[in-house]
Amino acid sequence: MKRALLILSGVLLAAQPAWAEIARIKRATGVTSIERGAGRLTPSPGFQLQPGDVLVTGKDGQLSLTFIDDTRFSVGPNSRIAVDQFDYNRTTQAGAFVTRVDRGSLAVVSGQIAKSKRDAMKVRTPTSLLGVRGTRFIVEVPK
Amino acid sequence: MIRRTIASLLLVSCLSACATGPTLTLLPSEEGKQGAVAVLEENGKPVDYVVTELNSSTNLSGRPKTRAINPDKLNARRLALLQALPPPPVRLRLYFQQGTTRLTPESQPGLDFLKKEVAERPGAEVQVTGHTDTVGKVEDNDVLSERRAEEVVKALADLGIEPALLTAVGRGEREPLEDKGDNYASPANRRVEVIVR
């Protein structure tokens, strides 16, 4: 019985659209990569991001991207930024969005998710947790 | 006296340049609007601190403190970061003739506008959402709204936009712009809404 439940929950997990597109890369310059699970991919304009992806830039690296809720990111050099959670309902325009800035710099113009509910969009740094209330801002995490 | 001057000079230069921990820079929106960012946790402990001062910098380690910055004198790194933000998505409504998937003549030029926007945006994504007015059955309007969206997708593909960039959905009569009850013929509601990101 227990095994049957485990198998069932496995099926349910597999049924979630984990592959759904959440953002598209608009620009990638210098050394950049996207870490997805154990893999490492090279982004170019049109590259589709998935929840859990990690944006990594080298010394001269820069990435620009727009999410499906209209949130826009610009990632500076020497950065490591993870999209830990991105749930968005295109119909209700509500969702939850958690980004983690491990190092480097990130400029943000928030979109529909931040508008949908107080602190629906969060940004984590190594020392703090931020609640985004609809705005344009920069987070910098020096090494 | 001299020693004190040097000490205060050091302090001043440190305030402006010695931001060793994570920082938050809050700026007005591109339309100049107010925004805010709350600091919810600091070193694992909940805090209650909301940054509302635009053009300000806040340290994110230790007790948060906010100070004003001059938006005309952002350092090169921050300036480059802001300039690299993608352009804001554009939205356009296209209207249809009653009960059909034919665009109104006034909406026809909108297709060329969309083509131009897509061409100027590397890595573009185009979302097309169809709507109807409330004349007729709900189920029929679901079908009609989806056909309208598909018609626009086809027209855009015919103009040379790569089909892989285009998605179409229909919302039927559920989201009227003009809400006047059932069986109301509304040119404003017979539309597709296109977002180019």
ipTM of the complex: 0.86
Q: Nearest residue on chain A to B61, judged by CA atoms?
A: A127
- The number of beta carbons lying within 10 Å of the beta carbon of residue A110 is 25
**Partner-chain contact A138 B25, CB within 8 Å:** yes
Facing A26 at nearest CB: one of B40, B64, B122: B122
Rounded Cα gap, residues A68 and A86, in angstroms: 10
Contact B37 A45 (CB under 8 A): no
The whole-angstrom separation of Cα B163 and Cα A38 is: 31
Q: Is A119 on the interface with B (CB under 8 A)?
A: yes
- In a structure prediction context, what are the per-residue pLDDT tens digits for chain B, which is 197 residues long? 555 555 555 444 444 445 579 999 999 998 888 999 999 999 999 999 999 999 999 999 989 999 999 999 999 999 999 999 999 999 999 999 999 999 999 999 999 999 999 999 999 999 999 999 999 999 999 999 999 999 999 999 999 999 999 999 999 999 999 999 999 999 999 999 999 99
Q: For residue B82, which residues of chain A lie inside 8 Å, CB to CB?
A: 74, 107, 136, 138
pLDDT confidence of residue A92: 86
Nearest to A139 among B22, B86, B197 (CB): B22
- Chain B residues closer than 8 Å to A27 by CB: 84, 86, 122-123
Residues in chain B closer than 8 A to A107 (CB atoms): 78, 81-82, 84-85
Per-residue pLDDT tens over the stretch A24-62: 999 999 999 999 999 999 999 999 999 999 999 999 999
- Residue B44: closest CA among B61, B65, B21, B26: B61
CA A86 to chain centre: 7
For the beta carbon of residue B82, count every other beta carbon within 10 angstroms: 16
* Burial of B183: CB neighbours in 10 Å, binned 0-12, 13-18, 19+: exposed
Q: Could A47 and B123 be called an inter-chain contact, meaning their C-beta atoms sit closer than 8 Å?
A: yes
Which residues from chain A sit within 8 angstroms of residue B195, using beta carbons?
A: 70
User: What is the pLDDT confidence band of residue A91, given thresholds at 50, 70 and 90?
Assistant: confident
d(CA A102, CA B123): 26
- Asked if the Cβ–Cβ distance from B89 to A66 is below 8 Å, we say yes
CB A57 within 8 A of CB A35: no
Q: Which of residues 8-67 of A touch B (CB under 8 A)?
A: 24-27, 45-47, 62, 64-66
Alpha-carbon span B157 to B121, nearest angstrom: 16
What DSSP element (H or E) covers B96?
none
Q: CA nearest B50 in A: which residue?
A: A131
